[in-house]
Amino acid sequence: MSDAAVTRPRLRLWLALLGAAAGGLLLDAAGPGLGWWPLAFPAVGLVLAALWQQRGWRGALVGAVAGFAFWGPHISWLTLYLGPLPWIGLSGIMTLWFALLGAGIGFATDGLARLPVLWERPGVLLVAQAVTATGLWVLREGLQGVWPYGGFAWGRVAHTQASGALAESVSWLGFAGLTAAIVLVCGLGVSAAFLAPGAPARLARRRETGRAACGGAAALLLVLVLVPAAPLAETGELRVAAVQGNSKSGIFDDRESGDVYRDHVTATEQLLDELEAAGDSVDVIVWPENSAEFDLPGTPLRGMEVAKLARRAGAPIVAGSILQDSDGSYTNSAIVWGADGAAGQRYDKRFPVPFAEYMPNREFFHALAPDLVDLVQLEYSFGQRPAAFDIETADAAVRVGLAICFDITFDAHAEDLVRGGAEVIFAPTNNADFGRTDESAQQLAIARLRAIETGRALVNISTVGTSAIVAPNGSDLAALTPFTADAMVATVPLVEGETPALRFGALIAGGWMLTGGAGLVLGWWGRYEPRRARRS
């Protein structure tokens, strides 16, 4: 059978555009805040079906529609105080990545269907197309997480499962692996639906192949649902408290210097009153990002006050503060403050947010939006200190890992925390700039999955919420109502060792990316080699 005689089914452009838009919207609904996690499967399935075997520019156009339908509502929280420009910029970049994904999946699946060695073997073609599409999806998520300006590791398919039935499998697969599993399940179904019909004998094979693909996808899903989180050895327990001051800590909030700090002092005093009344105590207290405002070590009165609270609690306080180093650079930091009134261990945020905590290409962007660029007055440097260190408690030293705000979204940082020996993770943050939008719920979902992936309890504490202490299996040990001044207390396990996700996660991600690239090369071969053969 010649290449010309083989039909390669694809959706008409208008139907593909509708399917892509519906898929993007459903993918947003699958994640926080709606949290309708089962919708991830029809969402990914619709996007893949819209892209399947699309030629040329159509794949890119359909991918762009899917991308904007997802990213537009997903990060609409950017418009709350800053207007449409930052939202348009970030949505545009993320949509471009989806357009490239669409071009790649359309090109590769069409090219693979042209290879005689594949279209003569429906089962091999089905798997090759599904695996290639999965690899390209993982590659797109990986690239958007590193470029441009350090990347935006947000909006991954895995994030939809933070409160879903597949959440615990992330401890075995990692974020990229969980995304791959979901996309592969959907890709097998879509590939089966689009297998080209032919002679009756081939049609029978197509049906058998489709049934086998659906059975394999169902089996994979069942395994992912049933698998428990990977077990790790517990070395002890830590009694931890976290304080949410409910502060006016957003960029445009009307406040005086010291208000945010004072809110957290007051909430901590109330916490200690309640602990003393109940005859209870804690081993460590965690404050949110920016809770101690500017230069806590250089403000003696505040330092003495925090030390007094630490003495009263019999526990160190981990406070967030903006610091200036001797070279004039600024860091967004967390400092351990003990009863002696001296600054102890310190962590500096490793992934400051571009266009918020530093301004890349300032002169260029200032010419486009001077008022917005001028809001970014300090240029925070990228932290270089270890992400994990010992904190001395009343009983023993505890190895703690720190991740400030968006640090928690980056896979490389999670690896550094665990390989640095962290037994528990503290994730202080400040979500005040996003009000009551979905941003804080999205960030907590990522932190929840990170706790499962690393096998560590995680303390996600915000100035305003959403705040929770998360167990290694992803369940809440304690949680606070957003926009209330309060504190939460829980006993968390201390854990050592690496989950399979941490040990092999980079290999899993890299393997899928290479598979996507290999499928793209084979798709190119399928599209162009037969033409060369006919010309020769």
Of residues 221 and 407, more confidently modeled = 407
* 427 exposure class (CB count in 10 Å sphere: 0-12, 13-18, 19+): buried
**Residue 288 in this model has a pLDDT that exceeds 90:** yes
**Residue 318 in this model has a pLDDT that exceeds 70:** yes
pLDDT tens digits, residue range 413-447? 999 999 999 999 999 999 998 989 999 999 999 99
Number of domains in the chain: 2
> What pLDDT does 203 receive?
54
Question: CATH no. for residue 368?
Answer: 3.60.110.10
- If asked whether residues 161 and 310 sit together in one domain, one would say no
**Residue 90 in this model has a pLDDT that exceeds 90:** yes
Structure tokens at 88: 């348009």
- If asked whether residues 181 and 305 sit together in one domain, one would say no
Percent of all residues in the chain with a pLDDT value above 90, rounded to a whole number = 75
3-state secondary structure of 343: strand
Find the Cα–Cα–Cα–Cα dihedral 131, 133, 138, 141, rounded to 10°.
Answer: 180
Percent of all residues in the chain with a pLDDT value above 70, rounded to a whole number = 94
Q: What is the mean pLDDT of residues 62-75?
A: 98
Q: H/E/C letters for each residue in 433-448?
A: HHCCCCHHHHHHHHHH
CA atoms within 13 A on the CB side of 332: 25
**Residue 210 in this model has a pLDDT that exceeds 50:** yes
Q: What is the mean pLDDT of residues 28-40?
A: 94
Interaxial angle between packed helices 500-535 and 411-419, expressed in degrees from 0 to 180 and rounded to the nearest 10: 140
Give a yes or no: residue 24 inside a domain: no
- If asked whether residues 530 and 478 sit together in one domain, one would say no
Q: What is the mean pLDDT of residues 237-264?
A: 91
**Residue 66 in this model has a pLDDT that exceeds 50:** yes
- If asked whether residues 181 and 268 sit together in one domain, one would say no
- If asked whether residues 173 and 61 sit together in one domain, one would say yes
- If asked whether residues 273 and 406 sit together in one domain, one would say yes
> What pLDDT does 532 receive?
57
**Residue 2 in this model has a pLDDT that exceeds 50:** no
Give a yes or no: residue 18 inside a domain: no
Residues in contact with 365: Cβ distance below 8 Å, sequence separation at least 6, in sequence order: 355, 359, 373
Give a yes or no: residue 19 inside a domain: no
Q: What is the mean pLDDT of residues 368-380?
A: 81
pLDDT band at 33 (very low <50, low <70, confident <90, very high): confident
23-32, 199-208, 301-310: least confident range: 199-208
Mean of pLDDT over the chain: 91
Pairwise CA distance, residues 94 & 70, whole Å: 10
3-state secondary structure of 505: helix
Full domain range(s) for residue 109: 31-230+503-535
- If asked whether residues 238 and 223 sit together in one domain, one would say no
Give a yes or no: residue 281 inside a domain: yes
- If asked whether residues 192 and 93 sit together in one domain, one would say yes
88-97, 130-139, 371-380, 382-391: least confident range: 371-380
> What pLDDT does 207 receive?
67
**Residue 180 in this model has a pLDDT that exceeds 80:** yes
**Residue 197 in this model has a pLDDT that exceeds 60:** no
Give a yes or no: residue 209 inside a domain: yes
**Residue 201 in this model has a pLDDT that exceeds 50:** no
- If asked whether residues 162 and 247 sit together in one domain, one would say no
Unique residue bearing structure tokens 């003696």: 300
Structural contact between residues 493 and 462, judged by C-beta atoms closer than 8 angstroms:
no
**Residue 285 in this model has a pLDDT that exceeds 80:** yes
**Residue 476 in this model has a pLDDT that exceeds 60:** yes
- Taking alpha carbons only, the member of 34, 90, 48 closest to residue 438 is 34
> What pLDDT does 456 receive?
98
Structure tokens at 286: 């965690």
Give a yes or no: residue 427 inside a domain: yes
> What pLDDT does 1 receive?
41
Give a yes or no: residue 363 inside a domain: yes
> What pLDDT does 196 receive?
60
DSSP output for 96-152: HHHHHHHHHHHHHHHHHHH-HHHHTSHHHHHHHHHHHHHHHHHHHHHHHTTTTTT--
- If asked whether residues 359 and 449 sit together in one domain, one would say yes
Q: How far is CA 191 from CA 194, 217, 238, 374, 389, in A?
A: 5, 12, 49, 50, 49
Q: H/E/C letters for each residue in 12-47?
A: CHHHHHHHHHHHHHHHHHHCCCCCCHHHHHHHHHHH
- Taking alpha carbons only, the member of 290, 405, 295 closest to residue 349 is 405
- If asked whether residues 284 and 313 sit together in one domain, one would say yes
pLDDT tens digits, residue range 105-118? 999 999 999 888 77
Pairwise CA distance, residues 316 & 204, whole Å: 70
Structural contact between residues 101 and 58, judged by C-beta atoms closer than 8 angstroms:
no
pLDDT band at 321 (very low <50, low <70, confident <90, very high): very high
Distance of CA 139 to the CA centre of its chain: 15
Q: Where are the beta strands (DSSP E) in 246-378?
A: 284-286, 317-324, 330-337, 343-348
**Residue 4 in this model has a pLDDT that exceeds 50:** no
Interaxial angle between packed helices 439-454 and 170-193, expressed in degrees from 0 to 180 and rounded to the nearest 10: 110
Distance of CA 499 to the CA centre of its chain: 18
- If asked whether residues 256 and 351 sit together in one domain, one would say yes
Structural contact between residues 387 and 474, judged by C-beta atoms closer than 8 angstroms:
no
Give a yes or no: residue 16 inside a domain: no
pLDDT band at 378 (very low <50, low <70, confident <90, very high): confident
